[in-house]
Amino acid sequence: MINRNSLILAVSSVLILSGQLSFGQRRPTSEEVQSLRKDVNTIKANQADIEKSVKELKALAGAGQPAPPLAPENIVLGVDDDPLMGDQKARLVLVEFSDFQCPFCARFVHETFPEIEKDYIKTGKLKYVFRDFPISSAHKDAFKAALAAGCALDQGKFWEMHDRLFENQTAFTVYNLTRNAEAIGLNKEKFQKCLNNNEYETEIQNDFADGLKAGVNQTPIFFLGLTEPKSPKVKVLTVITGAKPYAVFKAAIDSALQQGK
């Protein structure tokens, strides 16, 4: 919902634009009308964002039985064929379960991940693995977006598609997904065939099943752990739930690096 002042502003703006309310004894100028239209559009956009977040929380709250508690010492994850960023030899790994239509996942991508990438991934201290957890009950196009990302992975450009999907979470029609594919230089015909045939459906379902086994019941959620030499398995040390600030990740990663020595 929007607050009272925003509602008054919106109603007043509509009246002004319709000619039912004047600025004193004069008609508003074209510049004033344009400014008011902008205010109304901003209010509508903010309300839509709030309603989207509320819808997601309601869907998660009512989605079946609650997941088991996340006890890091009992969690082992595989990262053998998932998109990976960073030095493959790095023992410390951050595994994220994410949903391309989740607004909190987008917040992590835009606000927190760049710092993690700069301080830990690019320096070879940490590798980052992305796994799919599309919550279709809240986000009807999330699964299709995950398929598109998989088809981009098939052509070696997962991260480019990843970034474009999180830039615009409302443009997940087949037409828009294909435009994204063309924009990042994918072979259009190969991408469309992959998308139409749901070629990454099993992989996404496997990710989702592994997430459920690990206790995932919302997105984003992160598992920070250590890999053993010549093994795709990750022994989880810490679980971070939600789009936490960079400081939370930094403290957890620094502590894990000490344990991994």
pLDDT at 209: 93
pLDDT band at 71, cuts 50/70/90?
low
Average pLDDT over residues 66-79: 65
> In this structure, what token pair is assigned to residue 96?
């994220």
Q: What are the pLDDT digits (tens) for 137-160?
A: 889 999 999 999 999 999 999 999
Burial of 172 by CB count in 10 Å (0-12 exposed, 13-18 middle, 19+ buried)?
buried
Q: What are the pLDDT digits (tens) for 112-127?
A: 999 999 999 999 999 9
> Which of the two residues, 157 and 75, has the higher pLDDT score?
157
Name the residue among 150, 160, 157, 143 with its Cα closest to residue 101: 143
pLDDT at 22 over 50: no
d(CA 112, CA 107): 7
- CA-to-CA separations, 45 to 50, 111, 157, 257, in angstroms, rounded: 9, 20, 31, 42
pLDDT at 74: 73
Angle, vertex CA 117, rays to CA 113 and CA 144, nearest 5: 50
What is the model's pTM?
A: 0.72
Percent of the chain with pLDDT over 90: 60
Angle, vertex CA 197, rays to CA 98 and CA 81, nearest 5: 45
pLDDT band at 256, cuts 50/70/90?
very high
> In this structure, what token pair is assigned to residue 87?
């030095």
42 near 34, Cβ under 8 Å? Answer: no
CATH 3.40.50.300, applies to 72-259: no
pLDDT at 43: 56
Domain boundaries, the chain: 4-61, 72-259
Compute the mean pLDDT over every residue in the chain, rounded to the nearest whole number: 82
Identify which of 2-6, 66-70, 183-187 has the greatest average pLDDT.
183-187
